[in-house]
Amino acid sequence: MTTLISMRALVRRDLKDDDSSEYRWTDNEIDRAIEKAVLEYSEYCPLQVRSTLLTVASSVDVDISTLTDRIDIMSVEHPTGYYPSAYHPFKLWADVLTFTDGHYGDAGNCYVYWLKKHTLSTSSTIPAAHEGIIALGASAFAVSAQAQYTVEQGTVLGPKVNKDYNCWAKEKFAQFYEKLETIKSYSTKRLKVTQMSPEPIEPLTPEDSDV
C-alpha cells in the first residue's frame, strides 16, 4: 500500500529530482502537488462508501454530518434488510438529507450510498493500479508551480527556463487528464437512484412509527 512518503518518492523519480543534496522541490511542495492530484482524481474516480445512519422516528430528515469529505450522495435505502431493496428519492441541504416521497424514519437504520474524496497519508484509499496516475498528476502540478515561480524570478532565471517548465507541465497535464477520462468510464455513474424496487414498500408515515 502506498503512503504519502512512498508516493513522494515516486513523484521525485518521475521528476528526476531524487538527488537529496540538490532537490529542486521541497517535500512540502511535493506533498501539496500530491494533494492536488488526489483531489482531482477524486472528482473522476471517487471512493464509493456505504454508511449506516440512524433515522428519526416520524421525521423525513436524516443527519449526514458524519459523512465527511463528501462529494455526492447517490442513494438512500430504508428500511434495510429487504429484497429487493427499498430506495427513496431525496433532496440535500447542507448536512441534512430529506426524503421527498412522503417516507418517514422509524428510528431504525438506513444505508446511505455516497462518494467520498480519497485520502493518501499514512494509509491510502487509492487503488494500486491507479497510483501511477496520482504520481503523474502530482508531477504535473509540481512542474506547473515551478513554472509560476520562474515567472516571478524571470529576471534571474531567464524566459527560456520558464518556457521549458510550461511545456513540461502542459505535456504532463495532458497525459494526466487523458488517463482520468479513461478511468472515469469505469467509476461510479453519477445518477441518483430514485426507485430500484419493482414492487416498492409502502412509505412509513408518522402513524406507523412507534412514537
2-28 pLDDT, tens digit each: 899 999 999 999 999 989 899 999 999
Prior bond of 79 cis (ω within 30°): yes
Question: Edge to edge, what strands does the sheet with 70-77 contain?
Answer: 47-54, 109-116, 70-77
Q: How far from each other are the two terminal CA atoms of the chain, in whole angstroms?
A: 48
* Domain residue extents for the chain: 8-45+129-184, 47-119+190-208
133-146 per-residue burial string, b: 16 or more CB within 10 A, e: under 16: bbbbbbbbbbbbbb
Q: Where are the beta strands (DSSP E) in 30-69?
A: 47-54, 61-63
31: confidence class by pLDDT, cuts 50, 70, 90: very high
Of 25-34, 72-81, 164-173, minimum mean pLDDT range:
164-173
Instruction: Compute the distance between CA of residue 59 and CA of residue 105 in angstroms, rounded to an integer.
Output: 5
pLDDT at residue number 152: 52
Residue bearing the bigger pLDDT, 131 or 210: 131
Instruction: Compute the distance between CA of residue 122 and CA of residue 209 in angstroms, rounded to an integer.
Output: 45
Instruction: Compute the distance between CA of residue 173 and CA of residue 103 in angstroms, rounded to an integer.
Output: 46
Of 72-76, 77-81, 198-202, minimum mean pLDDT range:
198-202
What mean pLDDT comes out for the span 180-187? 79
What mean pLDDT comes out for the span 118-136? 96
Check: pTM over 0.85? Answer yes or no.
no
193: confidence class by pLDDT, cuts 50, 70, 90: very low
Q: Is the pLDDT of residue 161 over 50?
A: yes
Share of the chain above pLDDT 90, in %: 71
pLDDT at residue number 14: 94
Instruction: Compute the distance between CA of residue 71 and CA of residue 61 in angstroms, rounded to an integer.
Output: 19
What mean pLDDT comes out for the span 120-144? 96
184: confidence class by pLDDT, cuts 50, 70, 90: confident
